[in-house]
Amino acid sequence: MEVWVPPGLERPDTGNTAPIPAGKTFTDCSNPEVLKAYGLKITYGTGDGKQFEPNAKLSRQQMAAMIERTLKACYPNIVIDTLGQPDFKDQKDFLDYAIVPAKFMAKYTITVGDGQGSFNPNGDCLRQQTFIFLVKAYNFRDMYIYE
């Protein structure tokens, strides 16, 4: 599966490829790209980790966590800084794993939630929104990645 990258966002080929982890499968998905994402610790599957749920909707908190994990996979020295970022009004609705990624994204204006102080962590995140957030994370990387 080839991934389209907008002109100007290409990274030079490092020669590195993500390995497919030996012995890992999901009961509902055998896509090698999903398995590579599992190997890179971008996704862990759902529930007990035996399923991926490829046809399920993506929540905003899941999106935030996966974008943070993607940044960590691409930039191992990244510091996920949320210092000074206020709590969301709906922070009680988050699962613990997603609070820091969402606050990081808000701090660096990758996404700011609803603009009124809430994030809507359990709301759906459309593919188009996810793509926009990924592009913004890439474009704003100089604000939080010091190579």
The residue among 8, 38, 56 that closes a domain is: 56
Closest CA to 91 of 123, 114, 119: 119
Residues 94 and 41 both lie in one domain: no
Q: pLDDT band for position 146 (50/70/90)? A: confident
Q: How far is CA 15 from CA 11, 12, 18, in A?
A: 11, 9, 10
Residues 41 and 88 both lie in one domain: no
Total count of domains within the chain: 2
Q: Across the chain, what does the average pLDDT equal?
A: 88
Residues 46 and 66 both lie in one domain: no
Residues 51 and 61 both lie in one domain: no
Residues 74 and 139 both lie in one domain: yes
**Structural domain includes residue 117:** yes
Which DSSP symbol is given to 124? B
Global pTM exceeds 0.75: yes
Tokens 């606050």 correspond to 103
Domain that holds residue 94: 57-143
Q: 109-120: per-residue pLDDT in tens?
A: 999 888 899 999
Residues 76 and 127 both lie in one domain: yes
Q: 6-55: per-residue pLDDT in tens?
A: 554 455 556 678 889 998 889 999 999 999 999 999 999 998 999 999 99
